[in-house]
Structure 1
Amino acid sequence: MTERMVPAGFHGNYWGPAATEARKDGRLPKITLTPQMQRWDEWGRKNLRSGDIVFRLGDARVAKGWFPMSRFLANASNSKFSHTGVVSVEDGEPFVYDTTRTSVARQPFCVWILDNVGHFGVKRLKPEYRSQIPQVVDYVHDVFEKQVPFDYELGLDDKALYCIELTEKAFRHAGLKLSDPIRLGDMERAAEFPVQMIGIAQASQFALKSPLTFEQEVFFPGNERHGIWSSDKLQVVVPPTFTPGYPFMADHGLPQDVASAN
């Protein structure tokens, strides 16, 4: 959905630094909020804080849109989520820093949530770790300004980043390891998808310089047992809640108001 917001003929990262500045000075149109987006904006301003991690189920696809990669990875890893982002509240407005297929993105929360097609959740550092939040935010601001490219090869180095990797490394930059990477072959439900697992490995040989293997270690949003969601340094602000985004927000609405976690 957020890609449909990009004006015809625009090239580059519509959620990158140059486009952000262009919206501020009028060279690009400002983001127009629908009534549903306005509701999410109000909810985010009320409930989100800098350093929060937002989780969603995305619908990223490969093979010309035929294969739903996000849903597959969520299912194979036994997670309700495929995607994470880090919140930074700026002038009272919550922005989410994550990655798109172009590079690191900065999206208003009410825009970011549009790409949710299933469960949504929020976690926050426990009080004893919150002094590290400025360092977390500094990291996402830095990789945004540098426009670190998207990591299609899901590598663990810093040359490129995928969304969960960006989140994990932002907190590690602040001295807080949230989770360990997991081998693709060790995903909790990987054995239930043998055809898809083999197909991805084989297809990646033609698409990537470093093809994916079952031994590839990857960071995951996870569940109560693994991944970022399982971190003992985090507490729940919003549990996994089925709130798919536009155009279904009018039907499913927002999560119930939540008291800010202490």
Structure 2
Amino acid sequence: MHWPRLSLLSLLLLAHTAAAAPRPLEGQLKTGDLVFHTSRSQQSVAIRAATHSPLSHVGLVEVTPSGVFVVEAVQPVQRVPFAKWKARGVDGRILVLRPEQLPEQQRAAAVAEAKRHLGKPYDWRFGWGDEALYCSELARKAYSAAAGVDYGMMERLGSLDVKKLAPALQQRYGGKVPLDLELITPASLAADARLSVVYSDFQGLR
């Protein structure tokens, strides 16, 4: 079979079209990226109200030859395909942040550290022990252990907007709410200027 010859102009147009075509989101991701979305979980509303942010869940990306995955602290800590993780968020909207100042080796080490906790239960009381973890705790601890970098800012529970959540918190903690409890929120992680925006569906963030 003889294929028709393409003129130089045609080749240039084809190259330009290929270059201009947007890359699929999964193709833009790298191991170690932090991905955020608005969770559909029962406590998502409370987290958003307390932090004044649409971001209520975060996980770490792992890119492999067999696909793209997210390591996340839910019940239990697990590793799921990125497409499944993205679909769980409200309207499929996500924010992708990258610690570009860290080499790939350290980003990969952070994901490996997060995977070390696979199977552990979700921490509904937002403690800081390793026997159970919540999503933003897993992300912060992974980078702290692997790269010595603490992303986000620890905050007191009482410094968040929790007045309207008092009944729910009293039920969760069995009476007295530990307002001095220090925790890390998805919103605090996302506000760290050392993390670069790779992709965002959220208006007004960053």
Calculate the TM-score normalised by the size of structure 1. Answer: 0.63
Amino acid at match of 1:83: H
Instruction: Show the counterpart of 1:70.
Output: 44
1:110 to 80, 83, 87: 83
Instruction: Show the counterpart of 2:152.
Output: 179
Give 1 or 2 for the bigger CA radius of gyration. 2
Structure 2 vs 1, CA of residues 238 and 44 (structure 1 numbering), >3 Å: closer, same or farther?
A: closer
Whether the aligned pair in 1 keeps the contact of 2:99 and 2:194 (CA below 8 Å) is yes
Secondary structure of the residue aligned to 1:135 is helix
1:221 to 174, 181, 186: 186
1:152 to 104, 107, 124: 124
Whether 1:204 and 2:157 are equivalent positions in the alignment is: no
Could you tell me how far apart the structure 2 residues matched to 1:79 and 1:129 are? Answer: 30
Secondary structure of the residue aligned to 2:71 is strand
Instruction: Show the counterpart of 2:198.
Output: 237
Whether the aligned pair in 1 keeps the contact of 2:140 and 2:152 (CA below 8 Å) is yes
Secondary structure of the residue aligned to 1:97 is strand
Instruction: Show the counterpart of 1:194.
Output: 163
Q: Number of aligned pairs? A: 179
Could you tell me how far apart the structure 1 residues matched to 2:125 and 2:178 are? Answer: 10
Whether 1:57 and 2:38 are equivalent positions in the alignment is: yes
Structure 1: 5+ residue runs without aligned partners?
A: 1-41, 62-68, 243-262
Could you tell me how far apart the structure 2 residues matched to 1:127 and 1:46 are? Answer: 20
Could you tell me how far apart the structure 2 residues matched to 1:236 and 1:78 are? Answer: 20
Whether the aligned pair in 2 keeps the contact of 1:121 and 1:241 (CA below 8 Å) is yes
Instruction: Show the counterpart of 2:5.
Output: none
1:89 to 63, 69, 72: 63
Whether the aligned pair in 1 keeps the contact of 2:125 and 2:173 (CA below 8 Å) is no
Could you tell me how far apart the structure 1 residues matched to 2:194 and 2:104 are? Answer: 10
Could you tell me how far apart the structure 2 residues matched to 1:214 and 1:91 are? Answer: 45
Give the drift of 1:151. Answer: 0.8
Structure 2 vs 1, CA of residues 177 and 94 (structure 1 numbering), >3 Å: closer, same or farther?
A: same
Give the drift of 1:212. Answer: 4.2
Give the drift of 1:128. Answer: 4.4
Instruction: Show the counterpart of 1:11.
Output: none
Instruction: Show the counterpart of 2:115.
Output: 141
Could you tell me how far apart the structure 1 residues matched to 2:94 and 2:84 are? Answer: 14
Calculate the TM-score normalised by the size of structure 2. Answer: 0.79
Give the drift of 1:236. Answer: 0.5
How far does the alpha carbon of each residue in 1:169-220 deviate from its partner, in whole angstroms, 9 at most, with x for none? 1111121110222112212xx1xx5232x1123212449xxx6422222211
Give the drift of 1:229. Answer: 1.0
Give the drift of 1:113. Answer: 1.1
Secondary structure of the residue aligned to 2:24 is helix
Secondary structure of the residue aligned to 1:143 is coil
Whether the aligned pair in 2 keeps the contact of 1:156 and 1:218 (CA below 8 Å) is yes
Amino acid at match of 2:45: R
How far does the alpha carbon of each residue in 1:46-99 deviate from its partner, in whole angstroms, 9 at most, with x for none? 1111000000000211xxxxxxx2122112212120000000012151100002
Could you tell me how far apart the structure 2 residues matched to 1:50 and 1:178 are? Answer: 17
Amino acid at match of 1:53: L
Could you tell me how far apart the structure 2 residues matched to 1:219 and 1:142 are? Answer: 20
Give the drift of 1:116. Answer: 0.5
Instruction: Show the counterpart of 2:95.
Output: 121
- Percent of pairs identical after alignment? 27
